[in-house]
Structure 1
Amino acid sequence: MPINNVEIKHLQVFVAVAETQNFSHAAQACGLSQSTVSLIIQRLEADLGVRLIDRTTRKVSLSRLGEEFLPGAQRIIADFTRQISDMRAWQEIERGQVNIACVPSVAIRLIPKTIYAFRAKHPKISIKIFEEPRGRCMDLARKGEVDLAIANEPPDLSDLDAIPLLTDRFALVLRRDHRFAEKETVSWAEARDAGLVMMAAKTGIRLELEHGLPAGILQNKVSYEAVNPSTLLSMVREGIGLAPLPSLAWPDPSDPILTFRPLRNPVVTRELHLAWRKDSSPTPAVEAFKTQLEKEASDYVIT
C-alpha cells in the first residue's frame, strides 16, 4: 500500500473526526475548512487502501478498521507532540543532560563550583561526571561518549577541538602542625627529604611532575603512592607524609588540619584543556555548561 504521502496532519484530521464524529466540528478543531477535512480523509483512505470513516447523511462513525486504526494514530500524534515539545525545551534549555569526563583533581573543586553556579540558572539540566585518567577522558570525548573532557595537556588531540582552560601550580600539602607550615614556600629539595606521598606512576599529575622536575630528583624518595588526589589528602591528614599536588586538589584554606605551601626551585605548573569532539553540534545545555565552566576557570585564582 502506498503510504509515503501520509503526513502527521492527515492523522490529526482523522483523529479529530473520530473524536468529534462530526466533520464540521473537526474542521473547527483543526483550523481547516470542512471541504479540506473531507478531502484529507479521502486521501488518507486512498493511501491506506481501506475505509476508515462510515458516512451517512445523518451520522459519521468509524468503520471496523477505523476503530483499529484510531489508537495507533492517537499514539503517533502524542509521541510526535511530545518530541516537538522536548526539542523546543532543549532549545530553551528547559531540560537536557551534560556528560563530562575529567581527571580526578578537576572533580575536587572546579567541577562542583561550576555545577553550583550552573544549577541556579538551569535547575532542570542533569549532569554526569566521569573521573578518568587524562588519556581516557580524551578518548571518551573522541568517541562521543561524553560531551566535554577536561584534562592536563594530552599528547593527542586528534579529532578534537580544544581550548586552554587554566594553569595549575603545584604546592606541598601538609598538616598545620608540620614544621614546614611556618615557611612561606618549600623547595623541592626540602620536600623530597621530608617523606612524600605521591600520585602513582603514569597518572597525569605524576607525568606532569616528571616533565617539570630535574631528572631523578624524586628517585627513591616516595614513601607511598595513590591514583586519586583525595587518597593523598587523607594520607597527609593522618600524618603519613607530604603530598605535592596541583592547586585544584589543595585543601580548603579553612581546613583545620591541612594547609599547603607553594613549591619552588623549580616552580612546576600544568595546563588544563577543555576538549570536545571535532565537528560535533553541542546541545544548548552543553553550550551553557561550557560557558559557565570557562567563566569559573577564568575566575579561578591560585591562593
Structure 2
Amino acid sequence: MNMSLRQLRAFVAVAQTGSFSRAARQLAMSQSALSQAVQQLEAEVGVRLLDRTTRSVQLSAMGSEFLPGIQRLLADLDHQVQDLQDLKEHRRGHVAVTCVPSVALRLLPAVLAQFQQAHPMVSVAVREAPRHQIITALRSGDAELGIANVPGDDPDLDSAFLLTDIFALVMRRDHPLAARETVTWAESAAAGVIAMAPGTGIRLEMERGLPTTSATLPHHEAEHPATLLAMVEAGVGVAPLPSLAWPRPDHPELTFRPLTAPRVERQLFLIKRSGRDLSPAGRSLHRAILAGAAREDFAGVTPGLPMGRAGRHAG
C-alpha cells in the first residue's frame, strides 16, 4: 500500500469534525483537495471509510474499525517528531561525561548549575575515572565527552584546551609549613607526603614535572582527591594537589601553599571522539564546559592557550 500522511490526516479530520468543510479549514486545505485525499485513501485500502449524504458525513462500519488505529499512529508520529525537535533545539537529551575526580569536585558543579538553567530537560551523567579509563570510555562510545590531562597525539581523539592549574601543598592550618608563603618539594617530602596513586592523572603530572632526583616517595597513597583531603585533615600528612583539588580558602581546618623548586603545572583538556558528531545536547554541554572554564575564577587556575605539551585540538 502507498498511503500518505496527507490522506490519513484528511480522513481523521473529517471523521472528527463530521464535515468536509470544517476538516478542510482545520487542515488549511481546499475542500476539493481534502475530498480527493479521502477518495485516494479509500481507493488504496479498497473499502469505503465514510458514508456521505447531502446532509452529513459519518464513518462506515469499516471506517469505525480503521479510525482508532490511525489516530494512535498519527499521535505516536507527532510525539516522535516533537521529541526530535526537542533534541534539535537542545530542550531534551542525555549526555555522559567522564572526567578526572578533581574536575568533578570543582569545575563541573559550577558549569552544570548554569547549564541546567538553560537546558532543564537535558540530563547529564558524570562519571569520575582515571585518565586511561576516560580515553577508553570515549573510544568505546560509553561517554560523549571527557575531561583529562592532554591525551597526546591520538588520531581517535580531538581535544580542546580548558585550563592550566598549578600544584600546591595542602596541609592543616596548624602545620608548621603553613607559616610559609611557599614550600619546596623537598620540604614537602620531609613533612610526610600523601599522594595520588600511580596511574592517576595527578600522579602522572607529578612524575612528569619533578626531576628524578627530587621525586618524592609518598608515605601514603589514595585514588581520590577527597580521600587525600580527609587524610590531611586527620593529621596523617600533607598532600600535593593541583588547584581544582584544593580545599576552599575558607576551609576551617585546611590550607595550601604553592609548591616551588620546581613549579609543576597540569593542563586539562575537553576531549571527544574524532570523526563522530556529538548529539545536540552534547554540543551544548561542550560549549558550556569551555565557557565555564574560561569564566569561573578558581585560585591557581589559568584559562587560556596551553603552553608546552599539546594534543590534537579541535575547536
Shared fold, TM over 0.5:
yes
The residue that corresponds to 1:250 in the other structure is: 246
Residue 89 (str. 1) matches residue 81 (str. 2): no
- Give the deviation of 1:289 after TM superposition: 2.5
The residue that corresponds to 1:135 in the other structure is: 132
CA contact (8 A) 1:135 1:154 kept: no
- Give the deviation of 1:58 after TM superposition: 4.2
Q: Secondary structure at the match of 2:191?
A: coil
- Give the deviation of 1:283 after TM superposition: 4.1
Quick one: distance in 2 between partners of 1:215 and 1:7?
A: 74
- Give the deviation of 1:216 after TM superposition: 5.9
Q: How does 1:1-303 map to 2 (within 5 A)?
A: 2-3=1-2, 6-155=3-152, 157-215=154-212, 217-218=214-215, 221-299=217-295, 300-303=297-300
- Give the deviation of 1:62 after TM superposition: 2.2
Which letter maps to 1:263? L
Q: Deviations over 1:203-237 (max 9, x none)?
A: 11111211221226446x32221111111111111
CA contact (8 A) 2:150 2:159 kept: no
CA contact (8 A) 1:153 1:270 kept: no
Quick one: distance in 2 between partners of 1:174 and 1:298?
A: 28
Q: Secondary structure at the match of 1:136?
A: helix
Which letter maps to 2:137? L
- Give the deviation of 1:155 after TM superposition: 4.1
CA contact (8 A) 1:143 1:277 kept: no
Q: Which moved more, 1:42-51 or 1:31-40?
A: 42-51
Quick one: distance in 1 between partners of 2:182 and 2:241?
A: 14
| CA pair 83-214 structure 1, distance change in 2 beyond 3 A | same
- Give the deviation of 1:104 after TM superposition: 0.7
Q: Secondary structure at the match of 1:210?
A: helix
Q: Which 5+ residue runs of structure 2 have no aligned equivalent?
A: 301-315
Quick one: distance in 2 between partners of 1:69 and 1:49?
A: 12
| CA pair 279-64 structure 1, distance change in 2 beyond 3 A | farther
Q: Alignment RMSD, CA only?
A: 2.1
Quick one: distance in 2 between partners of 1:15 and 1:251?
A: 64
- Give the deviation of 1:110 after TM superposition: 0.5
Q: TM-score, length-normalised on structure 2? A: 0.87
Q: Which moved more, 1:285-294 or 1:271-280?
A: 285-294
Q: Which 5+ residue runs of structure 1 have no aligned equivalent?
A: none
- Give the deviation of 1:265 after TM superposition: 1.2
Quick one: distance in 2 between partners of 1:53 and 1:278?
A: 56
CA contact (8 A) 2:164 2:267 kept: yes
| CA pair 116-18 structure 1, distance change in 2 beyond 3 A | same
Aligned residues: 299
Q: Percent identity?
A: 48
Quick one: distance in 2 between partners of 1:103 and 1:44?
A: 59
| CA pair 140-63 structure 1, distance change in 2 beyond 3 A | farther
Q: TM-score, length-normalised on structure 1? A: 0.90
